[in-house]
Structure 1
Amino acid sequence: MKILNALLAMTAVAAVSLMSGSAIAQTYPERTITMVVPFAAGGPTDTVARLVAESMSKDLGQQIVVENVGGAGGTLGAGRVAQADPDGYTVLLHHIGMATSATLYRKLAYDTLNSFEYVGLVTDVPMTIVARKDFEPSDLRGLVEYIKANKDSVTVANAGIGAASHLCGMMLMSAIQTQLTTVPYKGTGPAMTDLLGGQVDIMCDQTTNTTKQIQGGTIKAYAVTSPARLKVLPDVPTAVEGGLADFQVGIWHGIYAPKGTPADVTERLSKSLQVALKDQNVVARFAELGTEPSPDADATPAALKAKLETEIARWKPVIEAAGQYAD
């Protein structure tokens, strides 16, 4: 009898838990949702987040407020979401740094693969190899030759350890087998300001941050890292065209929720993301920034999880070879 009563009690608890989860999903969302961006306001990832949050807010019927929690290459913001209540009211929009931080940081306050639920991929932003406008080399082949001949004096700017520009810079040095002096900044804005001012020589950063400067002629563009030339920058060749075989780097972005968030809630968020990525305003603004929204097949929990696992494995040897770890 005691065993029977215990089994009945366990069944009742499970039923209540299931009903509770279903009830949450049926009424979700009932209040404002916070979307944490683990980088400073005004940067490329922040731009992507605000466009998507605005459109998702319309679909969900509740406002999504973007909160910038910068620091430690995006790991502070990710850690904040990992520790948040798993109720769907705190989510994370992070870029490729979600994968690279697993190797880049010796200690993390969360388990990259197991501390989150997955919502879906948002976009894959191409990178650009750019320089101060008066830099000597005229094309990518010339740039590589110049860098190798002057490796002790050429400086590479980035927005800080773990930033997209840092990762792309490491990939570039790995591709040309030349280590350069890196100059880290506290954000994309200061890095671009010094590139514009000629205080640093080159940078590898997202089109969301460089397109307008390239179009305005205030910096020199050597290549885009996409498989094909971009409509928004038709005169800029691909890195492969410029002689860097297989040099293709995209800064993909995904949305995550804390571990334990009900599956129905993450599915609702995923469906809302798919709606947002077909919003003509989002499509048009992304195009202006040199990128495209992820298709429905990628804006899913399964696709994001698979992407994260693959990218952790891809970047691990690059980071280990560079030896640029963070505490």
Structure 2
Amino acid sequence: MEDNYNDIHANILAHLPEKSLLRFRNVSKQWCHMISSAYFSHASFVKTTYIPLPFATRNAGSNRRVAETNRNYYIYNPTTNQYATIPKPGYRTPNTIFGVILAFDSLKSSHHKVVFVRSATTFSHLYQLEIYSSQTRLWSFSSEVQEFNYSKGAYCSGFIHWMTNSGASLRFDVDRERFQEIALPNGWNQHARIRYFKESGGQLHLIFTNGRHSTRQFDVYEMEKDSSRWSVKYRVDLDALISEYPEMILNNSGPSDWDYHAYRVLAVVSKENEGSFMVLHIPGKAISYNFKHQTSTLLHDFAPGCTHIEGCITIETDDSFPYFGSLAIV
């Protein structure tokens, strides 16, 4: 009878936001034990698959990327205010890291992996992956991998994806430790500019532009569920938005300038039942743009009266991350 009672309470509590759960831990020892269990650390937030554990790094005495012996890496959960230091793998020669990715899916496991991309040897262009597992608390090492731009990667549904200008994206199966190239969408060329490349809600999205016209009209691509190819998810036309916010037009730009329109794509949010949208940062403002209705909503005015990108608060795409709470234990 007591087990049924606890199951009923657990099912009810699982539908509450994480801030309420943190307060309810103080109700009794029984509730504290129940809410602190593994069930609530990942299963309670089944309605979202956003990565809730961000990185933090700190250098001790140096800001140079080559001085990795003085760099500490942390996993931090802002909901519970808990953090854990990633143990160092030991001294490596060379010691240059080109990219670090957190691989974590709260719906599949309460454990996470951290993938480091570093130089394999001092005088070659080969790289090597070092993978830390929170489950085993051990490091593993991949075989040498090809030269690539590993500085900007995105984790989604068990794979880490990296972009390239060679006409393909590169994916890495974290569990099987295998690489595979995925063809980029039609229209991609070596001059394309990546406007957005991130995971959101368990979906990986890509936006790129090829010139002045394509900064007004462009497609939002989504990676297929099996991570095999890109497909067009949304079509965007910003003409009405630019008319509403003429400060998006850069007066000093020429017709061939690929930054002719001033905006940054901060997030793409797919909500089939509630309406999908993207969040844009334009000069001085953050706005949401509804894909279906092609309408916009002002989210925040950072600099009232600002009409030019220069002098306004500018948030770059790489500076923004989705945040959804979790009780995941670090």
TM-score (norm 2): 0.24
Looking at secondary structure, tell me which structure has more strand per residue.
2
